[in-house]
Amino acid sequence: MKGEHVQRARAIRHSDFSEEYTGRVVIISLADGKTLSGVLLESRRYWVKVKASNGDIAYINKSFIVSVVPTSN
């Protein structure tokens, strides 16, 4: 209607739970069956940044991640 303010519902932002395991040692299982162990340094909308056990930095697209398991370390 003309002159009325329409309040639109905002989209609910769902968490990927990355805040729970950022900075921790994790084991990441990928869609191709490979696994990567290392410290999760950062998580963005589509990518995660991991410092692997051998010291290498890996950027992984989230669409290829099957699971992330925090270790007890």
What digits encode the pLDDT tens for the residues 17-62? 888 889 999 999 999 999 999 999 999 999 999 999 899 999 999 9
Beta-strand ranges (E) seen in 4-70 are 25-30, 35-43, 47-52, 57-61, 65-70
Q: What integer pLDDT is reported at residue 73 of this predicted model?
A: 61
| pTM more than 0.95 | no
Taken in order of first residue, the domains within the chain and their CATH numbers are 18-70 (2.30.30.100)
Residues 40 and 24: beta-carbon distance below 8 Å: yes
Residues in a beta bridge with 28: 36, 68
